[in-house]
Amino acid sequence: MSTGSFENWAGNILEIGPIYPFVGSEFILFLAGMAFWIAWQIWQIGLEKRTYNQEKQQFGNAEVLRKIVGAEDPKNP
């Protein structure tokens, strides 16, 4: 892939042409990146919500959780 000739570095940049591939597609790539990020964020929130609900069901109500945490507290004999 050739992006231009650099025989004279003092030349006009407009004569060289594009110096990287896919010039002009930045906005499309930005939109694709934003869509991917939003989809990942929604998936992550759902995953954490399912995990939280499973742990809440596994460990029971608030009283059971207080007992578990209290048993781990070194100040509570």
Q: What is the pLDDT of residues 4-57, one digit of tens each?
A: 556 666 667 777 777 778 888 999 999 999 999 999 999 999 999 999 889 888
First to last CA, the chain: 73
pTM score of the predicted model: 0.56
3-state SS string over 30-76?
HHHHHHHHHHHHHHHHHHHHHHHHHHHHHHCCHHHHHHHHHHHCCCC
Q: Contact, 2 vs 19, CB < 8 A?
A: no
What residue spans define the domains of the chain? Answer: 24-72
